[in-house]
Amino acid sequence: MSAGRPRRIAVIPGDGIGREVIAEAVRVLAKADRQYELGLEFEEGLAGGAAIDAVGHPIPPKTVELCRRSDAILLGACGGPKWDRGPRELRPEQALFTLRKTFGLYANLRPAIVPPVLLAASPLRREIVEGADLLIVRELTGGLYFGAQSRTGEREHAAALDTLPYSAAEVRRVVRKACEIARGRPRRKVTSVDKANVLETSRLWREVATEVAREFSDLTVEHMLVDNCALQLVYNPKQFDVIVTENMFGDILSDEAAGVMGSLGLMPSASLGDRPPGLFEPVHGTAPDIAGKGIANPLAAILTTALLLRYGLGQEAPAAAIEAAVLQALQDGCRTADLAGGRPALGTAAMTDAVLARLH
């Protein structure tokens, strides 16, 4: 691949532990680049609170242009108490929404796997989680996050409105994407999650999902209400293969699934549209409670670089090598504080060194 054109990676560290884990993830990507001669070029961009402080806006046009010229975007996380008071358009999180919408990244893949070596880290009993391997496909460019919002009145007369719009086309493309992914997995099952007993958008969601299922007669497609899904994730996570759901439900269920795995610090994500660049980021946020201490778990960000290589650049071999190196480090007993259960733990950089030493 080195003989071809260079591949530009837009690197957006963001805020808090986003900055800490992205620095480590780039070290891993750079080593994979050297070993596999991928021809990667890294270029850093500003977004989130860091951009508000520097230029007064959460996502300067220069950053969007950098992403447009790039083959893939690697992002840490945006946000923090320092910037929590601003109006909607001037909050750090707006950077995420702009990138998701601008690049049409409607499918957000969030895998939750419990490797045997981490069974003890899960808050659930071994027999419940052993063998769990599920993928949440979260719709990412519609619903409450992008519906009209308003605020009127003051004090007791204050009122607020959020709206939850979905079109059939928006539902169809993400359910199709989930079904295509399920085809490549051994169990070939899709659970479409909604609140069709209450919400009109969910009734549309279920109708369209039922239509899409007819195109995929080789898959098992079932429907589940979101409250029951939240329960089933802790009762019996092994029943799930691919879960597809709307934006807000996916946000909540994916943190829950990460908790079932043992830590949010383990869950990577890939946000994909119909063309590059995809956006690759750990599921966790900026973790203000541990930021600046050098103890954040870098594995979600490192596993995110594997998704970037696989889905963003079509490079399976280095992606699998990074995942294998992470697994080997865990098997050798390396743990950050979130997984150590009070025992001595490695910091962010030392955990990354452990992965680098096992990356071949």
Task: Report d(CA 74, CA 268) in Å as an integer.
Answer: 11
Binding-site member from 264, 303, 306, 355 for ligand NAD (CB under 6 A): 264
Query: CB under 6 A: which stretch of 51-59, 122-130, 227-235, 277-285 binds ligand NAD?
Result: 277-285
Judge whether 223 and 231 are in contact, CB under 8 Å.
no
Binding-site member from 16, 18, 49, 79 for ligand IPM (CB under 6 A): 79
Nearer to ligand NAD, 245 or 304 (CB): 304
Task: Report d(CA 162, CA 144) in Å as an integer.
Answer: 7
Q: Which residue has the tokens 């549309």?
A: 204
Task: Tell me if 20 contacts ligand NAD by CB under 6 A.
Answer: no
Residue nearest to ligand IPM (CB): 93
Cβ neighbourhood burial of 344 (10 Å; 0-12, 13-18, 19+) = exposed
The structure tokens listed for 69 are 């010229």
Residue 288 touches which of ligand IPM, ligand NAD, Mn ion, none (CB < 5 to 8 A by kind)? ligand NAD
- Catalytic residue at 255? yes
Q: How far is CA 10 from CA 28, 67, 272, in A?
A: 15, 6, 15
Task: Report d(CA 240, CA 237) in Å as an integer.
Answer: 6
* Run of H or E residues at 213: helix 200-215
Q: Would strands 270-272 and 278-280 be described as parallel, antiparallel, or unpaired?
A: antiparallel
Lay out the site mask for ligand IPM across 249-268 (x = CB under 6 A, - = otherwise): --x-----------------
Lay out the site mask for Mn ion across 238-267 (x = CB under 5 A, - = otherwise): -------------x----------------
Task: Tell me if 58 contacts ligand IPM by CB under 6 A.
Answer: no
Task: Tell me if 339 contacts ligand IPM by CB under 6 A.
Answer: no
Cα R_g (the chain), whole angstroms: 20
Judge whether 228 and 197 are in contact, CB under 8 Å.
no
- Catalytic residue at 311? no
Name the site residues for ligand IPM (rule: CB under 6 A).
79, 93, 96, 251, 283, 285
For binding to Mn ion (CB under 5 A), which residues are involved?
251
Active site residues: 145, 195, 227, 251, 255
Instruction: Please report, as ranges, the residues that interact with ligand NAD according to CB under 6 A.
Output: 17, 21, 77-80, 93, 96, 264-265, 281, 284-290, 296-297, 300, 338
